[in-house]
Homo-oligomer: A and B are copies of this chain.
Amino acid sequence: MIEAIRRASAGTAPPYGEDDISIGLKERFSMLFERDVEVLPVITGTAANALALSTIVPPYGAIFCLASSHIVVDECGAAEFFTHGARLLPLAGSDGKVMPAEFARALSRNDGDSIHQPKPAALSLAQSTEAGTVYTPDELRELSAIARARGLKVHMDGARFANALAHLGCSPADASWKAGVDVLSFGATKGGAIAAEAVIMFDPGLARDLAYRRKKAGHLVSKMRFMSAQLEAYIEGERWLRMAEHANTLARKLAGAVAEIEGAEIACPVETNMVMARLPDATVAKLRSAGARFYDWEPSREGKTLVRLVTSFATEDGDIAAFTRAARA
């Protein structure tokens, strides 16, 4: 990544995305997604999500999403800011995924004709999810069909899109627009970039709107080539998928290690780079005192805590071994 930035710094280049690397991104991502797409790099996943949503949700709109989704619990209401006051309607889920029946039920509670409630405007899905699970293309199609039947657009939070693809083994197109996704937050930071995300717009008619919104939000970077260079390097030669596959593999190994801890339970299918596990509180304490960093997903209950363990492109077998040692210590 740093090498990519260094190369981008050679010579001078026009600012604000007029450089060759930034211009080339459109072609590279269009090939990757097997259709014409617009690619707008931004610096954070929060910005990508909020900007993406702002192009498909009016200020009086409502966004259906999982109660535990990143846009609900980790972005300080960025979606509300960028959409100018739309409302997030949190859904209960299963294994970190929106369930079609639950979504349909919530949608039916708002009959769509009443101006007394925000207008249902979008469904936002994370792929892979905050629990590390993955929607199959069939599951996506089912959800997006429900959305479309009521005139809603579909947003995908792809901060970990690479991990989902590495698990599915399908094409980026199959896991996005071919399954009904209108706009995708494409993450690279969690996958190894220093700071580079992108909004991938499958509806070219909304690209200009998005470009204005990005500028107005202070997210049009002058020396954009440094950001574009990271995205270019990220997807070059399937590096992104190899790195994601590595992280996924390590998560499976980690899950194996966790399963052997006494009293531990795996709480969710391990499909990408996350292990959702219920660990005895004593184990949690031992791991933390050994320097492990992870989130408590729920408060402790009956002596166990649901935690989320995350692997990355930089995780190594030795880290798993150290984890096991710490848990047993």
User: Which positions in A face B, CB cutoff 8 Å?
Assistant: 2, 5-6, 9, 12, 14, 16, 42-51, 58-60, 62, 73-78, 80-82, 84-88, 115-119, 189, 194-195, 209, 211-223, 226-227, 293, 314
B9 lies within 8 A of A58 (CB): no
**Known contacts A75-B116, A115-B220; 7 further A-B pairs (Cβ under 8 A):** A42-B218, A60-B212, A73-B116, A77-B216, A81-B217, A116-B215, A218-B219
Q: Complex: how many Å from CA A227 to CA B44?
A: 13
The answer, among B43, B48, B84, B222, for a CB contact under 8 Å with A85, is B84
A5 lies within 8 A of B217 (CB): no
B218 lies within 8 A of A58 (CB): no
Contacts of A293 in B (CB 8 A): 14
The answer, among B115, B209, B221, for a CB contact under 8 Å with A43, is B221
Q: Complex: how many Å from CA A213 to CA B82?
A: 12
Q: Complex: how many Å from CA A115 to CA B18?
A: 13
Given contacts A44-B219, A50-B218, A77-B87, contact A115 B212 (CB under 8 A): yes
Q: Complex: how many Å from CA A203 to CA B75?
A: 25
Q: Complex: how many Å from CA A289 to CA B189?
A: 40
Shortest Cβ-Cβ A-B pairs, 7 listed: A47-B218, A80-B85, A60-B212, A46-B218, A84-B84, A76-B215, A81-B85
A77 lies within 8 A of B85 (CB): yes
For residue A6, which residue of chain B has the nearest CB?
A: B2
**A186–chain B nearest beta-carbon distance, Å:** 15
For residue A62, which residue of chain B has the nearest CB?
A: B77
**A222–chain B nearest beta-carbon distance, Å:** 6
Q: Complex: how many Å from CA A78 to CA B222?
A: 15
For residue A60, which residue of chain B has the nearest CB?
A: B212
Contacts of A214 in B (CB 8 A): 115
Q: Complex: how many Å from CA A115 to CA B213?
A: 9
Q: Complex: how many Å from CA A46 to CA B76?
A: 21
**A48–chain B nearest beta-carbon distance, Å:** 8
A216 lies within 8 A of B86 (CB): no
Q: Complex: how many Å from CA A87 to CA B88?
A: 9
Contacts of A49 in B (CB 8 A): 218
A87 lies within 8 A of B78 (CB): no
Contacts of A213 in B (CB 8 A): 59-60
A115 lies within 8 A of B211 (CB): yes
**A155–chain B nearest beta-carbon distance, Å:** 15
Sample (17) of A-B pairs whose CB atoms are under 8 Å apart: A43-B43, A43-B219, A44-B219, A46-B218, A58-B209, A59-B213, A60-B76, A73-B116, A74-B116, A76-B216, A87-B88, A115-B211, A115-B220, A119-B212, A195-B223, A217-B218, A218-B219
B115 lies within 8 A of A215 (CB): yes
**A8–chain B nearest beta-carbon distance, Å:** 9
B80 lies within 8 A of A46 (CB): no
